[in-house]
Chains A and B, each alone.
Chain A
């Protein structure tokens, strides 16, 4: 079945440590996204990528980094510079948006990151 796979489901980070969240899609989608979800705040965009080897900062990119070396993969690194990393992280993909922005995004099941 086509879809988006995020791993691990749960992740724990020690102080000063970088951690990487995996996101893989087999939907052949061009665009991929990372969101952070905090209780009562909805989803906020961290980074997005419209095409391989290119990505743009979203609304809350500080303390995060990404790469897009392959179409199907868009890993997110939470660096030690992110002082409040505890959250639920969601990866999504879409088949481009064209002019009208009417293509829906498809989401993975998320990774819950906590601080030890």
Chain B
């Protein structure tokens, strides 16, 4: 079946540092890829998505590029802020190993940004 592997956390950075959170996936077919963010005590919010190879999703300074050749969707931001502190989840849907309705999540990466 489909699976998502993302880098173990926690990740601790200083404000204005560069962020990379690695995400790789296993899926047959042509899945869509997502990054979600969860702030403390809240549900998940969609951060960005990409639906086909070489697509770049971007939002709020975050970017991720759908790399089919390396089965990756790494999240990057050039300059993080304290307000970016949250848990980040990589997810996929639409792979042949699961139904189109099912999101398969990574385990999440906790990011803490210090002033």
Q: Which of A12-20, A37-45, A64-72 contacts B (4 or more CB under 8 A)?
A: A37-45
Cβ-based interface call for A97 (8 A)? yes
Bound-complex Cα distance A45 to B45 (A): 17
Chain B residues touching A, majority SS:
loop
Q: Which of B18-26, B77-85, B95-103 contacts A (4 or more CB under 8 A)?
A: B95-103
Cβ-based interface call for A109 (8 A)? yes
Contact call B101/A107, Cβ cutoff below 8 A: no
Set of chain A residues within 8 Å of B100, measured between Cβ atoms:
97-101
Contact call A101/B89, Cβ cutoff below 8 A: no
Contact call B101/A97, Cβ cutoff below 8 A: yes
Contact call B93/A109, Cβ cutoff below 8 A: no
Contact call B103/A108, Cβ cutoff below 8 A: no
B-side interface residues, number (CB < 8 Å): 25
Q: Tell me, rounded to whole Å, the shortest Cβ–Cβ distance linking B4 to chain A.
A: 8
Known: A42-B105, A42-B107. A107 touches B45 (CB 8 A): yes
Bound-complex Cα distance A31 to B49 (A): 19
Cβ-based interface call for A77 (8 A)? no
Q: Tell me, rounded to whole Å, the shortest Cβ–Cβ distance linking B49 to chain A.
A: 6
Contact call B102/A104, Cβ cutoff below 8 A: no
Set of chain B residues within 8 Å of A105, measured between Cβ atoms:
46, 103
- Most A C-beta atoms less than 10 A away, residue of B36, B44, B49: B44
Bound-complex Cα distance A94 to B100 (A): 11
B19-52 to A contact mask, C-beta < 8 Å, 1/0? 0000000000011101010000111111001010
